[in-house]
A and B are shown apart, each in its own frame.
Chain A
Amino acid sequence: DVKVTQSSRYLVKRTGEKVFLECVQDMDHENMFWYRQDPGLGLRLIYFSYDVKMKEKGDIPEGYSVSREKKERFSLILESASTNQTSMYLCASSSRLDNEQFFGPGTRLTVL
């Protein structure tokens, strides 16, 4: 059974804290993605990685960074969390062959 897992389902942090969101996939996929989902705005791409140590900015990268040191793991980092980063964060992975994206269960982050 293919799987994308995320480190936390719910997270509460304070403004200014550094936040790490972890995503792991077991499908040997080349591509990994971080999205945020907000009501009425759909899924917006933050960052995308198509290989180990490779990354590309998505549509809303400001305030975020990413790290991909191993093929199965893709981390999203909020260097200094702000209240406007309160959101649902979804990780996804896909094969370069067909690009069907498999999503993780999401992390609901609240920044106080």
Chain B
Amino acid sequence: QQPVQSPQAVILREGEDAVINCSSSKALYSVHWYRQKHGEAPVFLMILLKGGEQKGHDKISASFNEKKQQSSLYLTASQLSYSGTYFCGTESMNTGFQKLVFGTGTRLLVSP
């Protein structure tokens, strides 16, 4: 069963903030975030491991709530280059380690 991402799509003006959520019904070991620009391959952003950690990378950060099996990706002061589709991938004890189940994606458009 795929994790649920919300929202499905979001439109921002440059400089605005956005939050993308990823929710699973399974007990998770890790959550991975990827961004795919139009016509390109998905690119890794970050991994969050069981333990409820938060990670940051430039103006993009993420959190993992182990109790709720939820992760959120925070995009701060968005730039045009942030446009693309964001996928979360979850790794759980049920599906086996090293295998990811991806959500259906969140399309983000940043306009000038």
Chain A interface (Cβ < 8 Å from any Cβ of B): 4, 31, 35, 40-45, 48, 50, 56, 58-59, 90, 94, 96, 98-106
Q: Which of B42-50, B52-60, B66-74, B75-83 contacts A (4 or more CB under 8 A)?
A: B42-50
Q: Which residue of A40, A45, A99, A102 has the most chain B CB atoms within 10 A of its CB atom?
A: A99
Residues in A with CB closer than 8 Å to B2 are 42, 44
**Interface footprint category on B:** 20 to 34
Q: Are B43 and A103 in contact (CB under 8 A)?
A: yes
Q: Is the CB of A43 within 8 A of B102?
A: yes
The answer to whether A45 and B87 touch (CB under 8 A), given A98-B47, A103-B43, A104-B41, is no
With the chains together, A42 CA to B107 CA distance in Å? 11
For the complex, give the distance between the alpha carbons of A40 and B105 in Å. 8
A42 to B4, CA, bound (A): 11
Interface centre among A41, A42, A56, A98 (most CB of B within 10 A): A42
- Which residues of chain B from 81 to 103 have a CB within 8 Å of any chain A CB? 87, 89, 91, 96, 98-103
Contact of B102 among A31, A44, A100, A106 (CB under 8 A): A44
Known: A45-B99, A48-B99. A103 touches B104 (CB 8 A): no
